[in-house]
Chain A
Amino acid sequence: MKKSNRKVLIAILVLLSSVGFLIYRGLAETSVYYLTVGELKTSPLGLQLGADQAVRVGGLVVDGSIDYNQRDLTLRFSIKDENNPQQTINVHYNGAKPDAFEPEIEALLEGIYDREKNLFRAETLLVKCPSKYESEQENPQEADK
């Protein structure tokens, strides 16, 4: 192998290993578990989460639980497990209520769960746009396929 080729090859290897390191560190530092409400409350993984460990949780917004203070922009509500609706947690979110937010919609939260108070402090709140594209309730024949 020519000398210049070797130098280029070494530089590329150095670059690739730094990329590998960057990705590894990125995953180690920023990845969070994604659990359902039921898993967060009862699964072994959910139970062993640290008290200040961020976690992502998804569930359906409980009808009648929404309490939005528009003046302070605080939003309180409960979410329930999609398959196991008895399992619920209370959520506290500081921020504006998203336009699409409504009962029975699927909400995706990231934040910290306080097991003793059954309270989830959400840093981020995403709702799945219900009507943006085909929604399953409206087109059951779609969902069946």
Chain B
Amino acid sequence: MISFGTYSLIAALFFTLLSMGLFLSGLARNNVRLVQAGKRGLLSAAIATTLASVALAWLFLTDNFSVEYVASYSDRALPLFYKITAFWAGQKGSLLFWAWVLSVFIALVIFNNRREADDRNTPYIYLVLAGTLAFFLFLLCAISSPFETLGFMPRDGQGLNPMLQNPGMVFHPPILFFGYIGFTIPFAYAVAAMITGNTGADWIRKTRVWNVLPWIFLSIGIILGGQWAYVELGWGGYWAWDPVENASFIPWLVSTAFIHTAIIQERRGVMKVWNMVLIQLTFLLCIFGTYLVRSGILQSVHDFGATGLGGYFLVFMIVALIGGIYLLAESYNEFKTPGSVESYLSRESTFLFNNVILLALAFATLLGTVFPIISEAVTGNKLTVGQPFFNQVNTPLFLLLVLLTGICPLIGWRKASVSNLRRNFLRPALTALLAGVIMAISGIRELYPLLAFTLSAFVGATIVQEYITAIRSRKKLTGEASAAAAVKLLWKMRRRYGGHIVHFGLAIMVIGIAASSAYKLESQGTLRQGESLSIGKYELKYEKFRKYDKFNRTIYAAQLGVFVDGKRIDEMEAERRYYINAKQPTTEVALRSTLIEDLYVTMPGIGRGNEITLKVAVNPLLIWVWLGSTLMVIGGILAIIPARRKAACSE
């Protein structure tokens, strides 16, 4: 099985290089059949990487510890489920996973375009995709193969880190990877268009969809990562501005910018150059993120350490960057469009500001992330920034973005009239004002939370207003009942309402972030059985202690009664787990989540006589973060469900 895996990888590399050759000669001779053959080569490469992945999974399932990678990330006691996820627990396996997903994505692109005749862009698109795949396969074959053997069969493996033995491990890494990898496709489309100068309506439509899809995956991946951190790591938060978190957030911001300006290009045929820049930037930042994680140049809780791959990623990135800049300069005249904004009171201009802010957020986050490296290079001393920097810089920018989210749908395309504006703004502005006043009266005096609540109310109100108006006019037109009109409208114009749902979710998420970060309560204490600890309106009583074995771990659990006003409303169980093969215990978070607030308990210590130490927090509205971000994903999915041929679903 080991050599089967190795040979599959070599075969995949061979097929990929072969198809690159076919595309190149197809281009040189203007021969369509060579291009078709090249596509078949890429499909064969996808099959070969799939076989290699099956081989690695098989080695994990059969406990073949003679393979160095399997021995490092698995052991006999590991539950079956995690033996499969151990596939991507380390650097080598995740690299194979990357190549596999990319090859499958390429196969999907081929499948998706099967009915359409090739145009001038086609060979270039596949050439770029194949080139990227070849890079990863080369690393796997020559530098960092997961099939490397130890030369002997150890009795047992070293096991999987307990922190990775969490359901989060099943979905978070792969989905995040889908996002990173997916951005290769719009990048390929952009490079092809820059070479041929061909950016028709079809090009922007496809590029947009291939950009929204990875955007959705990246969003889900980031959310799942936050949730995992929240329920598993036990420090009480979901986002720490850690370099690796930032590495996923930065391309997310840039691709969000593109999703917006793509609409302008689609409607008005302008901003082509800018959009090329955004697409390339997104892809480069994805590779840069991978470089950060695998080069060991930054201190992070979840980097891979120095893997020896950093240099290769750096070279790949520089090649892509220089190539991109060159192509952009070459095609600049072709794509250049005349000054486009007709009025500063237009939806176009709000999109421009939206782009400026998104890129400013991306820039500030990137700068903060790499600041230690820059400062060391410039001054010789390492200066670092942490959470305070990111919060201080990004919070006002983010609030401005929320404000724009509210304003944008109220302003028409091209040029909005003042009376029109007054009518549209009235109700949302009053709603926001009312929300602000109520908040201020109920004791919220800090500027940022107050602004966050007010602006979110504004965004919500503009969306609701737009939706109600549209339902009314549809009822008039079709004579449908309100509910039917509401549903049909949502479905028929799903691209527009998908966008609105994303923005509505953003508003809800902002409320959750503001409330949970500004009004968090924390407490800690050490309790004997029968004693209790109070926080906010809650009282936690330490009732029982038990110890038991489960799968590959021993669990020490304290049962806590949750009391409010002397009434026992619930119970929670805080745990410490001792895994076989792990040196230290791990803390399990006990969580009681409601729409209003989360009660969050960890047990950092167990002492003599089963005396327990508890850390407790009350996080107000935290679940809103998850609800809002989930809505954002749902909206994104709704927006790219393809229209049937006849239904005109775009705006």
Contacts and interface: CB of A to CB of B under 8 A. Distances in A.
Q: Say whether A associates with B.
A: yes
Interface of A: 1-2, 4-5, 7-8, 11-12, 15-16, 19, 22-23, 25-27, 29-35, 45, 56, 58, 68, 70-73, 96-97, 99-102, 108, 110, 124, 126, 128-129, 131-136, 138-139, 142-145
B610 interface: no
A13 to B, nearest CB: 10
A83 to B, nearest CB: 15
10 contacts: A15-B360, A26-B368, A30-B388, A31-B371, A32-B384, A32-B385, A35-B382, A71-B526, A73-B526, A96-B613
Given A26-B385, A30-B385, A73-B524, 19 more contacts: A4-B344, A8-B344, A15-B357, A19-B364, A30-B392, A31-B389, A33-B382, A34-B382, A34-B384, A71-B613, A73-B605, A73-B615, A97-B605, A99-B585, A101-B584, A102-B584, A129-B302, A142-B308, A144-B308
A132 B384 contact: no
Instruction: Give me the 5 closest cross-chain CB pairs, A-B, nearest first.
Output: A145-B308, A96-B604, A70-B605, A34-B382, A26-B393
Contacts of B307: 134, 142, 145
* Most central of A16, A22, A101 by chain B CB within 10 Å: A22
B342 A135 contact: no
A2 B340 CA distance: 10
Contacts of A32: 383-386
Contacts of B384: 31-34, 56
B306 interface: yes
Contacts of A135: 305
Interface string B334-373: 0000010111100001001100110010011001100110
B304 A11 contact: no
A45 B605 contact: no
B586 interface: yes
A124 B383 CA distance: 17
Contacts of A8: 341, 344, 349, 352
B607 A1 contact: no
A99 B72 contact: no
A142 B381 CA distance: 28
A2 B301 contact: no
Listed residue (A101, A128, A131, A138) with the most chain B CB atoms within 10 angstroms of its CB: A131
Interface of B: 68, 72, 89-91, 143, 158, 161, 163-164, 234, 299, 301-308, 339, 341-344, 349, 352-353, 356-357, 360, 363-364, 367-368, 371-372, 375, 381-386, 388-389, 392-393, 396-397, 524, 526, 582-587, 602, 604-605, 607, 611, 613, 615
A45 to B, nearest CB: 6
Contacts of B341: 4-5, 8
Q: Is the interface of B mostly helix, strand, loop or mixed?
A: mixed
A97 B524 CA distance: 13
Given A31-B385, A132-B302, A7 B360 contact: no
A128 B299 contact: yes
A26 B386 CA distance: 10
Contacts of A27: 371, 385, 389
A22 B90 contact: no
Contact of B364 (A23, A100, A108): A23
A6 to B, nearest CB: 9
Contacts of A110: 386
A124 B524 CA distance: 17
A41 B613 CA distance: 35
Contacts of B396: 22
Nearest to B301: A129
Given A5-B339, A5-B341, A143-B306, A19 B158 contact: no
Nearest to B94: A133
A25 B396 CA distance: 13
A27 B602 CA distance: 34
B393 A22 contact: yes
Contacts of B305: 133-136, 142
A144 B307 CA distance: 9
A99 B353 contact: no
Given A26-B393, A27-B389, A96-B605, A16 B356 contact: yes
B400 to A, nearest CB: 8
A132 B163 contact: yes
A19 B611 CA distance: 51
A12 B356 contact: yes
B298 to A, nearest CB: 11
Tell which of A58, A72, A101, A132 has the most Cβ of chain B within 10 Å: A132
A98 to B, nearest CB: 9
A128 B353 CA distance: 40
Contacts of B363: 19, 23
Point out which of A29, A68, A96 has the most chain B C-beta atoms below 10 A from its C-beta. A96
Given A12-B356, A110-B386, A129-B161, A97 B344 contact: no
A12 B613 contact: no
B381 A33 contact: yes
Given A5-B341, A11-B344, A97-B605, A134 B90 contact: yes
A134 B304 contact: yes
A96 B237 CA distance: 15
A71 B293 CA distance: 37
Given A2-B339, A12-B353, A133 B385 contact: no
